[in-house]
Structure 1
Amino acid sequence: MRIILILEYDGSRYCGWQSQPENCSIQDALETALSQIAHEKIRVITAGRTDAGVHALYQVVHFDTSVQRPITAWVRGVNAFLPDDIAVLWASETSDKFHARYSALERRYLYLLLNQPVRPGINHKKVGWFHQPLQLDIMQRAANILIGEHDFSAFRAAGCQANSPIRTMTQLKIVRHGNLFIFDLRANAFLQHMVRNIVGCLVYVGKGKYSSEWMLELLAGCNRAYAAPTFSAAGLYLAGVKYDSSWYMLGLDEMPLIPNMFLYN
C-alpha cells in the first residue's frame, strides 16, 4: 500500500530534509514516527529535499507499507510521535504509480526578506534580513529576466548533484508588505541553493550594486563565481508542489501566499 502525506515544518534546528548518520534531519524524525505507527521500518520519498534551516509549508512525501491503518493514524497518530516543529497535515492512500518526486510538475518556494536597519528578534530564523534599502521595481525587472527555460549554472551550489542545470522558471514575483519583501518562485524543479542564490543576486540589484541587466550576464556566463553569495536559509519556505489533477492533490493555488504571522508593516 502506498500512502501520500502533506506536512509542514520549521527547519531551524534540523540539518535539512535528507537522512543523516547523526539522526538530525526531518526525514529521520518522520520515518521514526511512521515506523512507530506501522510497527515496521518505513522509508519515505519526498518531492523536494530542503537544506538545513529551510522550512516547509507544504512538503509532499510518499511511502509504502504492508500494514493497514486508518487514515487518522497517519495524521494524528504520527503527529503524536513527531517533534512539535514538524506536523503531518493530510494523508491519503494512492496508487503505487504515484511518486512524490517524479510525478511532480512544479514546485513553489517563498522567500521572506525583512528589509530594515536592525536585525529581527521575534522572527529570528523565520525571515532573511538585509539592512540597506532595496528598490522593488529594479529587482522585479531583474527577476523577469529569469522567467523561462535557462541554464541556471550561475545559481547552483558547487556540490549540486543534478544531472542538468536547465530549469524552467514559470514565476518569479516580488511583492512588498511594509518592510517585508516576499519572493514567490515557481519552476518545474530547482537546483541546490538556486532560490537562495537568486535572492542574493536580486538583493545586489535592489541595493544598486548592479543594474537589472546583470542577470543576463549571469545567465550567459554560467559561472557561479560571478554571482552574489548564497543568501540565508532562514527565510526560505517550500510552499507548494503541483501534480496532475488525476492524483486529487491540493494544488499550488490552494495554498495561502504567506503565513498570517508575517503580514506586518
Structure 2
Amino acid sequence: MRIACGIEYDGEPFLGFQSQKQGNTVQSCLEQAISQVANEPVSVFCCGRTDTGVSARHQVIHFDTTANRSDRQWRLGINSSNHRAISVLWVKQVADDFHARFSALTRSYQYTILNRNVKPAINRHHLTWELMPLDEIKMQQAAEILLGTHDFSALRSSNCQSKEPVKTVSEARVVREGELIHFYVTANGFLHHMIRNVMGVLIPIGKGEKPVSWMGEIIESKDRRKAGVTAAPNGLVFAGVTYPDCFEIPRI
C-alpha cells in the first residue's frame, strides 16, 4: 500500500532533505523512523527537495509498505521515533498512482527578511538579516515581473539537473510587516536555488542599487552570470503544495 504524510521540519540541523553519504538529512531520518514503525526497509519520496538549512511548513512525502497500521499508529509511531526537528502532521493511505513529487500541481515558498540595523538573536536561523533599509514597493514591482511563464535559466544553479528551465509562476508577493519583509511565491515547479537567486535580485533592487527593470533584463538574458548572488538559505521555508482533488491530500 502507498502512504502519504504531511510533515514539517526545522532545516537548521540538516544538510537538506535528500539523503547523502555523509551528514544528517531529513530523508535519512524519516526513512529510519518509518522503517522502525513498519518493521521493514522503507524509501521516502518528497514533493520538493530543500537545501541545507531550509525548513518546511508543509512538505508532503509518500512511501510504499506491506505493513498494516492505522493512520494514528503511523503518525504516533513515526513521531516518537523521529528526529525532534521533524514532525508528521497527518497520515493517509493514497492510491497507488499518487506520487508526492510528480502528482503535484503547484509548490509554494516563503522567504523572510529581518530589515533592521540590529542583527537577530531570536529565530536567527529562520531569518535573513538585512541591515540597509529595503523598499518593499520596488521589490514588489520587480516580483511582479516573475509572474507568468518564463525561461528561468538565469535564476538557476549551475548544478541544477532539471531538463526544463521554463516554469509558470502564479504568485509573487512582497509584504512588509514591521521589520519583517516576506516574499511569497507559488509556481508549478522551481529550479535549484531559483528562489534564493530571485532574492539575490530583489534585495539589491530594494536597497536601490539596481532598478526594478533589472529583474526583467536578467530573465530575458537567460544568463546566470547576469544575476545577483545567491541569497542565504536562512529565511526560506517550503510553505505548501497542491494536488488534484481526486487524491484528497490535506492543505494546511
Query: If the length of structure 1 is used for normalisation, what is the TM-score?
Result: 0.94
Name the counterpart of 1:113. 113
SS at 1:184's partner residue? strand
* SS of alignment partner, residue 212 of structure 1: coil
Q: Quote how far apart the aligned CAs of 1:23 are.
A: 4.6
> What is the one-letter code of the residue matched to 2:180?
L
**Residue 72 of structure 2: SS of its match in structure 1?**
helix
Q: Show the counterpart of 2:14.
A: 14
Aligned to 1:174: 174
**Paired residue for 1:162?**
162
Partners of 1:121 and 1:225 in 2: how far apart? Answer: 34
Residue 57 (structure 1) aligns with = 57
Which moved further from structure 2: 17-26 or 88-97?
Answer: 17-26
The ranges of structure 1 where at least 4 consecutive aligned residues each deviate by more than 3 angstroms after the TM superposition are none
The 2-side partners of 1:218 and 1:200 are apart by 11
In the TM superposition, residue 250 of structure 1 has moved relative to its aligned partner by 2.3
SS of the residue corresponding to residue 198 of structure 1 reads helix
Q: Tell me, in whole angstroms, the C-alpha distance in 2 between the residues paired with 1:250 and 1:203.
A: 34
Matched ranges for 1:1-265 at <5 A: 1-251=1-251, 255=252
Describe the shift of the 1:43–1:23 C-alpha distance in structure 2 as closer, same or farther (beyond 3 A): farther
SS in structure 1 of the partner of residue 119 of structure 2: coil
Gaps of 5+ in 1: 256-265
How far off its partner does 1:246 sit? 1.1
Counterparts of 1:145 and 1:37, CA distance in 2: 47
Q: What is the total number of aligned residue pairs between the two structures?
A: 252
Displacement, 1:248? Answer: 1.0
* C-alpha RMSD over aligned residues: 0.8
Structure 2 residue matching 1:91: 3-state secondary structure: strand
Q: Secondary structure at the match of 2:124?
A: coil
Cα deviation, residue 164, structure 1: 1.2
Percent of counterpart pairs with the same letter? 43
Tell me how far apart the structure 1 counterparts of residues 215 and 121 of structure 2 sit (CA, whole Å).
32
Q: Distance in 2 between matches of 1:33 and 1:22?
A: 18
- Which secondary structure state, in structure 1, belongs to the residue aligned with residue 49 of structure 2? coil
Q: Structure 2 length normalisation: TM-score?
A: 0.98
